[in-house]
Structure 1
Amino acid sequence: IFKELLEFPELVNKKLVEEVNLLHEKAKHAILQIDSAIVDHTNRLTEDVISDLTSHGLFGLQLDAGFGGQGLSNTQAARVWEAIGLDGAALSLLDAHNSLALKTIIEGGNEEQRRKYLPSLASGKHIAAFCLHELSGGSDPGAMTTRAVLDANGQTYTLSGHKVWVTNGAVATHLIVFARVQSSQTAEDNSKNYAAFIVDRSTPGIQFTDVLDTLGLRGANAANLVLDNVKVPASDLLGTVGSGLQLAQNAIDRERLNLAAACCGLLRYLISYVTEHCLQRHQFGRPLGDYELVQAKLAELALNVYAMESGVFYLTGLLDAQPQRDLSLEMAALKIFSTEALWSGCNHCVQLTGRLGLLKEVPFERYLRDSRTLLMHGGSNDLLRLLIGSAGIQHIAPEIQEMVAKLRVFKRHPILILKRVLELRGRRRGWYAHRVGAGLKVTEGGASRALKDHLHPNFTKVATSLAVLCQRFHSISEELLVVHSAVSLFASIDVGLLSVVV
């Protein structure tokens, strides 16, 4: 039992809670000043809106005060992201700038690079864009075709290639560009030599297309980018050659957490809006809110908000306590749940408001489009399910490797196979649920191995169900590894289904 997973981190005193809530209210006030309908119609965030967001310090949320940022903790920033989520265009702008671009510079940049670029980016004087995705790669950055060739003197890189879906592309002054590095002397192209560069937009050879006309999150100023022999000083390389993909992944992980917080804030806002409608709207002589079917939908919305909020602040608390902790799987799972809960919630809101919810004058139609688009931000949810399921199998594969090898050869181990098949089927059907925790009851230190013994008695049933799921996951994974080879398994639909258990 990893007892640290059973702890829920909280703010230590009332003053901190009040400060966090004040940050939220200030950010919410700024976001609600945006005429979202106009932004959605024109597909542009105006300079006045961007300037107003700048004045509220939203361009350097978690940047140290020494660089001009607010220096917020993860928990404080999450409350601000809840407010930012009320407008899709502002969310896209600030997410690409804070979560992706600034995160990459903070983590990969040296002290000179940080002092050169971060103050102007934190003030909003300059805006950054994150240039990772390509038409041929999509969610697979390993398929990247953009090249960076280092000259013979080792002083300048030449970047060539295409990037797509660059949020802030139309307004960014600085670009974080990812490319494969090859040497001009050997012309080698090592697939592991990915790198990140800071590129000034004014550099010759940079061309952006017109703003993309998207379904949702309109006003994000997204555009495609062409890099035509762009010269970048070697001093603008972030980190080292080979660290590019890790920098990108770390930034995207943080983006997923911030998106979850934004979804939570938006869904909470929608609940207050639609609840008021259900209290005022009468059908057959009674308010809509009196009908149990309507109450069930509202209860589902409230339940999802509570779950999203709990997940967000649990993870931010863990990160505040242990900044280097790897929570990538948890962030991916939370992103899946939050974006899909928001998508479902927006659909419920449209349904509860009837034809009124279909009007452009009412925000539900716009939020429905925005929520659909968020399903693909930070990695598509289907891809994340594949990654989560694969990680679960990889975690247990070493301990069952020998058993799986025997089970795949029937002629050599027929008795073992038949016995194991019956046992696995029994576990899947729950025949062994009562034996969860069977075996040694305590660890060497005398602590109980049973999950329920570490929780409040009210959670006994939940703890037992969780233990059963862990047992079944182990058994089903073993079955799948027997049926499929280790390679073909990760391309099967079963891995995506397993992610639900993980």
Structure 2
Amino acid sequence: MGLLNDDQKMFVDQMRRMVAEKVEPRAAEIDREGEFPWDLKEIFQDMGLLGLSIPEEYGGSYQGHLYVCLAVEEIAKACVSSSLVVQVQSLGWHPIHIGGSDEQKKKYGPSIASGEKLISYGLTEPGAGSDSAAMHTKAVKEGDKYIINGSKCFISNGPIANLITIFGMTDSSKGVHGISGFIVETNTPGFSVAKKESKMGIKGSPTGELVFENMEIPAENLIGEEGKGFIYAMKTLDTSRPVIASQAVGLAQGALDKAISYAKERVQFGRPISKFQGLSWMMAEMAAKIEAARALTYQAADLVDVGQGREKSYMSACCKLIASDVAMEVTTKALQIVGGYGYMTEFPFERMMRDAKITQIYEGTNEIQKLVISRELLRR
């Protein structure tokens, strides 16, 4: 923890104690049952973790974006599904924080920060994943309201959210410049959850397809200005990618820690397998890559607060690309170190390997991260 100040170190120590006592014992069951961890959500909200992204004047406890990343990293060491409780709450809030009015922040901030309301983020559509300009969801203004029709897919915590920040076309002739953002209360008539997805990993975080059929929302729920939604969405991803990178770093560290413990105890050929140079060097490389990913991620998290637009985009993409690749590599190698036992569901390694894969996909695939990075390089 040499990169952290004393207050941050105290926060991490508090998180580690809570994770060891409350999250670790529940992780396997959450994955096996595929149920949202409501009990842990209450613990997180009591600790103020759901308000880490929200400034004090709007009911939260914001001290810097790094605190969000630290919380998610520590929880993900034991359970990635549970870390998404904190991560998605931050993700859903940020379009409001970036583009919303003071009235919107005062209206929604306190209930989001307290955990009274869960919020999600709806950008992806069946035909518009990486290509947001292909978005089909439409929002038509009629008097003092917008009528929204369309759908969103792969929405993390969407099936259980009370609020969702969504994006839709208000002028499809303008491409991405015709996209606008909206705050949607999920008890609004015309809103429905069409499908809850069955997934490879992060099974304790419900992912769903959301449908809007002549859904009427007040015009005051427009975030910022019409046509600025794409900007708010991309700035939100610049903010959220270091959080996903932290999730990946935590997952990788958790897998390595467990692999080391196993290697010290597992005896073959008359000695612990940790004594074999091939495995000890493998663990050394895993540790070095985790440390590098963590340092890059913390730097990107700090830039969310103090960096300029392009610098933030570049570093956010860099940390998400590197950390997620490290998570996939480390969890795969951790399972290999454990061997046959690692392939069994009674051990955590196969779950961690399954969970690692999503970090290379959501918040923009790693191929999109390379596109963001290369575009910035070629501008210089």
Q: Does the pair score TM above 0.5?
A: yes
Aligned partners of 1:330, 1:112: CA distance in 2, in Å? 32
For 1:360 and 1:61, the matched residues in 2 are separated by 34
Confirm or deny: 8 A CA contact 2:22 2:40 kept in the other structure. no
Judged with a 3 Å threshold, the aligned counterparts in structure 2 of structure 1 residues 46 and 338 are, in CA distance, closer, same or farther, namely closer
Report what 1:368 is aligned to: 353
Other structure's SS at 2:103 match: helix
Are 2:256 and 2:331, in contact at CA under 8 Å, matched by a contact in 1? Answer: no
Tell me if the contact between 1:85 and 1:265 (Cα under 8 Å) persists in the aligned partners: yes
Task: Pick closer, same or farther for the CA change 1:315–1:169 going to 2, 3 Å.
Answer: closer
Q: Trace 1:407-446 onto structure 2 (pairs within 5 A).
A: none
Cα deviation digits, residues 138-196 of structure 1 (max 9, x gap): 11111101000011x3x1110001110111111101111100104xxxxx743222110
Residue 59 (structure 2) aligned to one of 48, 68, 78 = 68
Matches within 5 A, 1:185-224: 189-191=173-175, 192-224=177-209
Match of 2:70 in 1: 79
Q: In the alignment, what sits opposite 2:293?
A: 308
Q: What's the counterpart of residue 391 of structure 1?
A: 376
Within-5 A mapping of 1:176-255: 176-182=165-171, 189-191=173-175, 192-255=177-240
Partner of 2:125: 134
Contact 2:263–2:273 (Cα < 8 Å) also in 1: yes
- In the other structure, the counterpart of 1:117 is 108
> Which of 305, 322, 325 is equivalent to 1:337?
322
Write the letter of the residue equivalent to 2:186: R
Are the counterparts in 2 of residues 27 and 80 from structure 1 also a CA contact under 8 Å? no
- Contact 2:310/2:376, CA 8 A, preserved across alignment: no
Deviation string 1:293-341 (CA, Å, 9 cap, x unpaired) is 1011101111011101211222233444447673211111111111111
CA contact (8 A) 2:126 2:152 kept: yes
Output the amino acid matched with 1:179.
Answer: G
| Corresponding residue number in structure 2 for 1:326 | 311
Asked if the contact 1:10–1:317 (Cα under 8 Å) also holds between the matched residues in 2, the reply is no
Contact 2:251/2:356 (CA < 8 Å) preserved in 1? no
Change (3 A) 1:322 1:385: closer
Higher relative contact order (CA 8 A, sep 6+): 2
CA gap of 1:265–1:240, structure 2 versus 1, over 3 A, is same
Contact 1:147 1:159 in 2 (8 A): yes
CA distance in 2, matches of 1:108, 1:281: 54
In 2 relative to 1, CA 256–130 (structure 1 residues): closer, same or farther, beyond 3 Å? same
Q: Amino acid of the residue matched to residue 269 of structure 1?
A: G
Q: Which amino acid is 1:343 matched to?
A: M
Select which of 277, 281, 301 maps to 1:296: 281
Deviations 1:407-438 (A, max 9, x none): xxxxxxxxxxxxxxxxxxxxxxxxxxxxxxxx
Matched residue, 1:448? none
For the residues of structure 1 that align with 2:359 and 2:254, how far apart are their CA atoms? 17
Q: Which moved more, 1:39-48 or 1:219-228?
A: 39-48
User: What is residue 89 of structure 1 aligned with on the other side?
Assistant: 81
TM-score, normalising length: structure 1: 0.71
Counterpart in the other structure of 1:401 = none
Q: Which amino acid aligns with 2:279?
A: V
- Contact 1:180–1:194 (CA under 8 A) maintained in structure 2: yes
| Cα distance between partner residues in 2 of 1:301 and 1:195 | 43
- Give the alignment partner of residue 346 of structure 1, picking from 308, 331, 335: 331
- TM-score, normalised on structure 2? 0.93
Aligned residue among 139, 142, 150 for 1:161: 150
1:45 aligns with 2:36: yes
Structure 1 contact 31–84 (Cα < 8 Å) conserved: no
- Residue 143 in structure 1 maps to residue 134 in structure 2: yes
Name the CA distance, whole Å, in 2 between partners of 1:105 and 1:34.
35
The C-alpha deviation readout for 1:61-117, integer Å capped at 9, x for no partner, is: 12112322121212333221211223121223322221x211111111111111111
Residue 52 of structure 1: how far off its partner (Å): 2.3
3-state SS, counterpart of residue 255 of structure 2: helix
Q: Distance in 2 between matches of 1:31 and 1:241?
A: 44
The answer on whether the counterparts of 1:24 and 1:82 sit within 8 Å (CA) in structure 2 is no
Question: What's the Cα RMSD here?
Answer: 2.0
Distance 2:192 2:306 in 1: 43
| Aligned-partner Cα distance in 1 for 2:352–2:50 | 23
Matched, 1:108 2:92: no
Counterpart secondary structure, 1:90: helix
2:163 match: 174
SS in structure 1 at match of 2:325: helix
Query: Where in structure 1 are there 5+ consecutive unaligned residues?
Result: 1-8, 183-187, 397-502
Identity %: 25
